[in-house]
Amino acid sequence: MAGTDPIAEAEADGAADALFVLTAALLTPARFPSVLGDDYPAACAALGLQPYAEGYGLVFGQDGLGARWTVVVDDVSLVAVAISSWDCGMAYDLSPDEHSVVAGLPGWPLAVVTRAPGVPAPHDPEPEEGDPAPLVPPSGDAWGPAQRRLGADEVALQWSAWRSQVTDGASSDTGAAVPSETPAPSENAVSSSEPAASPRTPAEAAPRPTTWFERPSPKKAAPSQKAVPPPKAAPSTDAATSGEGVSSTGAAAAADAVADPYTGVRRALDELRGYLKEPPPIGRVRSSDTGTDGGVRTLRADGPGWSLVARPDDMAFVLLDELPGEVLPVARGPRLPALLEGLDAMAVRPS
Protein backbone atom coordinates (compact mmCIF):
# COMPACT_ATOMS: atom_id res chain seq x y z
CA MET A 1 0.00 0.00 0.00
CA ALA A 2 1.39 3.39 -0.92
CA GLY A 3 2.24 5.65 2.01
CA THR A 4 0.25 8.81 2.65
CA ASP A 5 1.70 12.31 2.65
CA PRO A 6 0.40 14.17 5.74
CA ILE A 7 1.36 17.54 4.29
CA ALA A 8 -0.51 16.85 1.06
CA GLU A 9 -3.50 15.64 3.08
CA ALA A 10 -3.50 18.77 5.20
CA GLU A 11 -3.37 20.99 2.13
CA ALA A 12 -6.20 19.01 0.51
CA ASP A 13 -8.35 19.24 3.64
CA GLY A 14 -7.74 22.98 3.97
CA ALA A 15 -6.22 22.50 7.43
CA ALA A 16 -2.82 23.95 6.54
CA ASP A 17 -3.78 27.44 7.75
CA ALA A 18 -5.11 26.32 11.12
CA LEU A 19 -2.93 26.47 14.22
CA PHE A 20 -2.64 23.79 16.87
CA VAL A 21 -1.84 25.53 20.18
CA LEU A 22 0.90 23.92 22.26
CA THR A 23 1.68 26.46 24.96
CA ALA A 24 1.85 30.20 25.66
CA ALA A 25 3.80 32.86 27.51
CA LEU A 26 3.37 36.47 28.58
CA LEU A 27 5.37 39.37 27.17
CA THR A 28 4.78 42.23 29.60
CA PRO A 29 7.06 44.68 31.43
CA ALA A 30 6.97 42.50 34.56
CA ARG A 31 7.00 39.08 32.94
CA PHE A 32 8.63 38.12 29.67
CA PRO A 33 10.76 35.23 28.36
CA SER A 34 14.25 36.16 29.48
CA VAL A 35 15.79 34.57 26.39
CA LEU A 36 14.54 37.58 24.46
CA GLY A 37 16.51 40.29 26.24
CA ASP A 38 17.66 41.99 29.43
CA ASP A 39 14.55 44.16 29.64
CA TYR A 40 11.06 44.56 28.20
CA PRO A 41 11.93 46.91 25.31
CA ALA A 42 14.77 44.58 24.26
CA ALA A 43 12.46 41.56 24.44
CA CYS A 44 9.90 43.29 22.25
CA ALA A 45 12.58 44.39 19.78
CA ALA A 46 13.74 40.78 19.43
CA LEU A 47 10.27 39.99 18.01
CA GLY A 48 9.94 43.20 16.00
CA LEU A 49 7.26 44.57 18.35
CA GLN A 50 6.71 47.97 19.92
CA PRO A 51 7.07 47.96 23.74
CA TYR A 52 3.45 48.77 24.55
CA ALA A 53 2.70 49.22 28.23
CA GLU A 54 -0.14 46.68 28.19
CA GLY A 55 2.12 43.97 26.82
CA TYR A 56 1.31 40.94 24.70
CA GLY A 57 0.52 37.26 24.89
CA LEU A 58 2.66 34.78 22.93
CA VAL A 59 0.98 31.64 21.65
CA PHE A 60 3.20 28.84 20.33
CA GLY A 61 1.85 26.19 18.00
CA GLN A 62 2.03 24.26 14.75
CA ASP A 63 -0.05 24.71 11.64
CA GLY A 64 -1.65 21.83 9.77
CA LEU A 65 1.61 21.20 7.94
CA GLY A 66 3.55 20.94 11.20
CA ALA A 67 5.30 24.30 10.81
CA ARG A 68 6.24 26.24 13.94
CA TRP A 69 4.48 29.57 14.54
CA THR A 70 4.53 32.18 17.28
CA VAL A 71 1.28 34.14 17.36
CA VAL A 72 1.36 37.50 19.13
CA VAL A 73 -1.94 38.70 20.60
CA ASP A 74 -2.89 41.81 22.53
CA ASP A 75 -5.39 39.99 24.76
CA VAL A 76 -2.98 39.61 27.66
CA SER A 77 -5.69 38.67 30.17
CA LEU A 78 -6.85 35.74 28.07
CA VAL A 79 -3.35 34.29 27.82
CA ALA A 80 -2.70 34.91 31.52
CA VAL A 81 -5.87 33.02 32.48
CA ALA A 82 -4.90 30.13 30.21
CA ILE A 83 -1.39 29.88 31.71
CA SER A 84 -2.75 30.03 35.27
CA SER A 85 -5.31 27.33 34.48
CA TRP A 86 -2.70 25.05 32.93
CA ASP A 87 -0.33 25.59 35.84
CA CYS A 88 -3.11 24.43 38.16
CA GLY A 89 -3.69 21.32 36.06
CA MET A 90 -6.97 22.61 34.65
CA ALA A 91 -8.05 22.44 31.05
CA TYR A 92 -8.45 25.73 29.20
CA ASP A 93 -9.34 26.29 25.56
CA LEU A 94 -7.04 29.10 24.44
CA SER A 95 -8.68 30.49 21.30
CA PRO A 96 -7.76 34.15 20.79
CA ASP A 97 -10.14 36.21 18.72
CA GLU A 98 -8.69 37.02 15.31
CA HIS A 99 -9.08 40.73 16.05
CA SER A 100 -6.66 40.37 18.97
CA VAL A 101 -3.90 38.93 16.77
CA VAL A 102 -1.01 41.35 16.30
CA ALA A 103 1.33 39.21 14.22
CA GLY A 104 2.20 35.66 13.27
CA LEU A 105 5.94 34.99 13.36
CA PRO A 106 7.55 31.87 11.91
CA GLY A 107 9.45 29.67 14.35
CA TRP A 108 9.62 29.59 18.14
CA PRO A 109 11.95 31.74 20.29
CA LEU A 110 11.68 29.14 23.08
CA ALA A 111 12.33 25.43 23.13
CA VAL A 112 8.90 23.79 23.04
CA VAL A 113 9.07 20.08 23.83
CA THR A 114 5.45 19.18 23.03
CA ARG A 115 4.19 18.59 19.50
CA ALA A 116 0.77 18.54 17.89
CA PRO A 117 -0.70 15.08 17.24
CA GLY A 118 -1.59 14.05 13.74
CA VAL A 119 0.65 16.56 11.95
CA PRO A 120 4.25 16.34 10.69
CA ALA A 121 7.14 16.92 13.09
CA PRO A 122 7.81 20.59 14.01
CA HIS A 123 9.78 22.45 11.36
CA ASP A 124 10.20 25.99 10.09
CA PRO A 125 7.56 27.08 7.57
CA GLU A 126 8.44 27.55 3.94
CA PRO A 127 9.56 31.19 3.63
CA GLU A 128 7.60 33.58 1.47
CA GLU A 129 8.85 36.85 0.06
CA GLY A 130 9.02 39.48 2.79
CA ASP A 131 8.71 37.02 5.68
CA PRO A 132 11.05 37.52 8.65
CA ALA A 133 13.63 34.87 9.43
CA PRO A 134 12.23 32.08 11.62
CA LEU A 135 12.64 32.51 15.35
CA VAL A 136 14.97 29.98 16.96
CA PRO A 137 15.62 29.17 20.63
CA PRO A 138 19.12 29.74 22.01
CA SER A 139 21.62 26.96 21.54
CA GLY A 140 22.30 24.70 24.48
CA ASP A 141 25.86 24.07 23.27
CA ALA A 142 27.22 27.55 23.99
CA TRP A 143 27.14 30.04 26.84
CA GLY A 144 26.01 33.55 26.14
CA PRO A 145 23.59 36.24 27.35
CA ALA A 146 20.46 34.18 26.69
CA GLN A 147 21.86 31.13 28.48
CA ARG A 148 23.04 33.31 31.36
CA ARG A 149 19.55 34.77 31.82
CA LEU A 150 17.94 31.34 31.60
CA GLY A 151 20.38 30.09 34.22
CA ALA A 152 19.42 32.96 36.51
CA ASP A 153 15.75 32.11 36.02
CA GLU A 154 16.48 28.53 37.05
CA VAL A 155 18.32 29.68 40.18
CA ALA A 156 15.27 31.81 41.05
CA LEU A 157 12.98 28.80 40.61
CA GLN A 158 15.23 26.61 42.74
CA TRP A 159 16.22 29.23 45.29
CA SER A 160 15.98 26.94 48.31
CA ALA A 161 18.28 24.36 46.72
CA TRP A 162 20.92 26.93 45.84
CA ARG A 163 20.58 28.77 49.15
CA SER A 164 21.14 25.54 51.07
CA GLN A 165 24.60 25.23 49.51
CA VAL A 166 25.73 28.42 51.24
CA THR A 167 26.75 27.95 54.87
CA ASP A 168 25.45 30.25 57.59
CA GLY A 169 28.97 31.38 58.36
CA ALA A 170 29.52 32.40 54.78
CA SER A 171 26.45 34.60 54.79
CA SER A 172 27.26 36.64 57.88
CA ASP A 173 26.63 40.35 57.64
CA THR A 174 30.20 41.49 57.10
CA GLY A 175 30.57 42.51 53.49
CA ALA A 176 29.65 42.16 49.84
CA ALA A 177 31.96 40.57 47.29
CA VAL A 178 35.15 38.62 47.93
CA PRO A 179 38.18 40.90 47.59
CA SER A 180 40.61 39.87 44.87
CA GLU A 181 43.38 39.08 47.31
CA THR A 182 41.27 36.57 49.19
CA PRO A 183 42.66 33.12 48.31
CA ALA A 184 39.55 31.18 49.32
CA PRO A 185 35.85 31.81 49.96
CA SER A 186 35.35 33.91 53.07
CA GLU A 187 32.53 35.31 55.14
CA ASN A 188 32.02 38.12 52.64
CA ALA A 189 30.91 35.97 49.72
CA VAL A 190 31.38 32.49 48.46
CA SER A 191 31.98 31.08 44.99
CA SER A 192 30.35 28.00 43.59
CA SER A 193 31.90 26.04 40.77
CA GLU A 194 28.66 24.12 40.33
CA PRO A 195 27.24 24.83 36.87
CA ALA A 196 23.88 26.51 36.67
CA ALA A 197 21.16 23.94 36.38
CA SER A 198 20.11 23.24 32.83
CA PRO A 199 17.49 25.94 32.36
CA ARG A 200 13.98 25.13 31.25
CA THR A 201 11.76 27.57 29.46
CA PRO A 202 8.19 28.03 30.67
CA ALA A 203 7.09 26.19 27.54
CA GLU A 204 8.86 23.02 28.66
CA ALA A 205 7.07 22.59 31.94
CA ALA A 206 4.27 20.29 30.77
CA PRO A 207 2.13 19.47 27.73
CA ARG A 208 -0.52 22.10 27.18
CA PRO A 209 -4.16 21.86 26.11
CA THR A 210 -4.67 22.29 22.41
CA THR A 211 -7.15 24.02 20.15
CA TRP A 212 -7.38 25.29 16.61
CA PHE A 213 -7.77 28.75 15.21
CA GLU A 214 -6.84 30.46 11.98
CA ARG A 215 -3.14 31.16 11.45
CA PRO A 216 -2.56 34.90 11.03
CA SER A 217 -0.51 36.70 8.45
CA PRO A 218 3.04 37.53 9.58
CA LYS A 219 2.59 41.01 8.17
CA LYS A 220 -0.44 42.10 10.20
CA ALA A 221 0.20 45.52 11.73
CA ALA A 222 0.33 46.06 15.47
CA PRO A 223 -2.68 47.79 17.03
CA SER A 224 -2.55 51.32 18.31
CA GLN A 225 -1.79 51.18 22.00
CA LYS A 226 -0.07 53.21 24.63
CA ALA A 227 3.66 52.72 24.29
CA VAL A 228 6.12 52.49 27.13
CA PRO A 229 8.01 55.79 27.41
CA PRO A 230 11.41 55.51 25.73
CA PRO A 231 14.09 54.65 28.31
CA LYS A 232 16.88 56.97 29.17
CA ALA A 233 20.34 56.14 27.95
CA ALA A 234 21.46 52.76 29.20
CA PRO A 235 24.06 50.19 28.21
CA SER A 236 23.00 48.35 25.08
CA THR A 237 22.00 44.72 25.37
CA ASP A 238 22.28 41.74 23.07
CA ALA A 239 19.96 40.26 20.49
CA ALA A 240 18.45 37.65 22.72
CA THR A 241 18.14 34.66 20.45
CA SER A 242 21.44 35.04 18.64
CA GLY A 243 23.32 32.86 21.12
CA GLU A 244 26.37 35.10 20.93
CA GLY A 245 29.04 34.89 23.59
CA VAL A 246 30.90 37.75 25.24
CA SER A 247 31.41 41.09 23.56
CA SER A 248 34.59 42.41 21.95
CA THR A 249 35.91 43.10 25.44
CA GLY A 250 34.97 39.60 26.52
CA ALA A 251 38.51 38.24 26.27
CA ALA A 252 39.78 40.82 28.75
CA ALA A 253 36.80 40.23 31.03
CA ALA A 254 37.36 36.48 30.92
CA ALA A 255 41.03 36.95 31.79
CA ASP A 256 40.07 39.13 34.76
CA ALA A 257 37.50 36.54 35.81
CA VAL A 258 40.14 33.81 35.91
CA ALA A 259 42.32 35.96 38.17
CA ASP A 260 39.39 37.03 40.36
CA PRO A 261 35.92 35.59 39.72
CA TYR A 262 34.36 38.42 41.71
CA THR A 263 35.61 41.20 39.46
CA GLY A 264 32.45 40.83 37.39
CA VAL A 265 30.31 40.61 40.52
CA ARG A 266 31.62 43.92 41.78
CA ARG A 267 30.97 45.45 38.37
CA ALA A 268 27.39 44.16 38.43
CA LEU A 269 26.76 45.50 41.94
CA ASP A 270 28.15 48.90 40.95
CA GLU A 271 25.86 49.01 37.92
CA LEU A 272 22.91 48.01 40.09
CA ARG A 273 23.64 50.92 42.42
CA GLY A 274 23.61 53.08 39.31
CA TYR A 275 20.09 51.82 38.58
CA LEU A 276 18.94 53.45 41.83
CA LYS A 277 20.22 56.81 40.58
CA GLU A 278 19.29 56.50 36.91
CA PRO A 279 16.37 54.08 36.33
CA PRO A 280 17.13 51.50 33.64
CA PRO A 281 14.73 50.44 30.85
CA ILE A 282 11.52 48.98 32.22
CA GLY A 283 11.73 45.30 33.06
CA ARG A 284 15.47 45.39 33.74
CA VAL A 285 14.61 44.90 37.44
CA ARG A 286 11.66 42.65 38.30
CA SER A 287 10.15 41.46 41.58
CA SER A 288 7.80 38.50 41.82
CA ASP A 289 6.04 36.54 44.53
CA THR A 290 7.56 33.07 44.66
CA GLY A 291 4.36 31.52 45.98
CA THR A 292 6.44 29.74 48.61
CA ASP A 293 8.29 30.58 51.81
CA GLY A 294 5.48 32.74 53.13
CA GLY A 295 5.17 34.92 50.06
CA VAL A 296 8.78 36.13 50.06
CA ARG A 297 9.58 38.04 46.88
CA THR A 298 12.41 37.22 44.49
CA LEU A 299 14.36 39.88 42.64
CA ARG A 300 15.63 39.38 39.08
CA ALA A 301 17.86 42.00 37.50
CA ASP A 302 19.92 41.96 34.33
CA GLY A 303 22.55 44.11 32.71
CA PRO A 304 25.21 43.91 30.02
CA GLY A 305 27.11 40.71 30.79
CA TRP A 306 25.47 39.79 34.11
CA SER A 307 22.30 38.59 35.80
CA LEU A 308 21.29 38.79 39.46
CA VAL A 309 18.90 36.70 41.54
CA ALA A 310 18.20 37.79 45.12
CA ARG A 311 15.80 37.78 48.02
CA PRO A 312 15.45 41.29 49.49
CA ASP A 313 15.72 39.89 53.03
CA ASP A 314 18.57 37.52 52.27
CA MET A 315 21.53 37.21 49.88
CA ALA A 316 22.12 37.23 46.13
CA PHE A 317 23.53 35.13 43.31
CA VAL A 318 25.22 36.53 40.19
CA LEU A 319 25.85 34.89 36.81
CA LEU A 320 28.32 36.34 34.31
CA ASP A 321 28.88 35.99 30.58
CA GLU A 322 32.61 35.52 31.14
CA LEU A 323 32.14 32.60 33.55
CA PRO A 324 30.06 29.97 31.73
CA GLY A 325 27.82 27.99 34.04
CA GLU A 326 29.16 29.60 37.22
CA VAL A 327 26.80 30.76 39.96
CA LEU A 328 28.51 33.24 42.29
CA PRO A 329 26.83 33.77 45.68
CA VAL A 330 27.10 37.20 47.30
CA ALA A 331 26.66 37.22 51.06
CA ARG A 332 24.58 39.73 52.95
CA GLY A 333 26.83 42.55 54.16
CA PRO A 334 26.55 46.16 55.28
CA ARG A 335 25.83 47.47 51.76
CA LEU A 336 23.86 44.66 50.16
CA PRO A 337 20.63 45.00 52.23
CA ALA A 338 20.12 48.65 51.24
CA LEU A 339 20.84 47.83 47.60
CA LEU A 340 18.33 44.98 47.51
CA GLU A 341 15.68 47.03 49.30
CA GLY A 342 16.15 49.86 46.83
CA LEU A 343 15.93 47.53 43.86
CA ASP A 344 12.80 45.86 45.24
CA ALA A 345 11.18 49.25 45.72
CA MET A 346 11.80 50.27 42.10
CA ALA A 347 11.18 46.86 40.52
CA VAL A 348 8.23 46.29 38.23
CA ARG A 349 5.72 43.73 39.55
CA PRO A 350 3.09 41.60 37.86
CA SER A 351 -0.33 43.23 38.10
Summarize pLDDT for 172-188 with one digit per residue, the tens.
333 333 332 222 233 33
Is the pLDDT score of 222 beyond 50?
no
If pLDDT is split at 50, 70 and 90, which confidence band does 351 have?
Answer: confident
The larger pLDDT score, comparing residue 114 to residue 256, is at 114
Q: Residue 292 has what pLDDT?
A: 61
Summarize pLDDT for 77-92 with one digit per residue, the tens.
999 999 999 989 998 9
If pLDDT is split at 50, 70 and 90, which confidence band does 126 have?
Answer: confident
pTM of the model: 0.75
Is the pLDDT score of 129 beyond 90?
no
The larger pLDDT score, comparing residue 161 to residue 200, is at 161
Strand partners for 294:
none
If pLDDT is split at 50, 70 and 90, which confidence band does 228 have?
Answer: low
Summarize pLDDT for 32-52 with one digit per residue, the tens.
999 999 999 999 999 999 999
Q: Residue 16 has what pLDDT?
A: 66
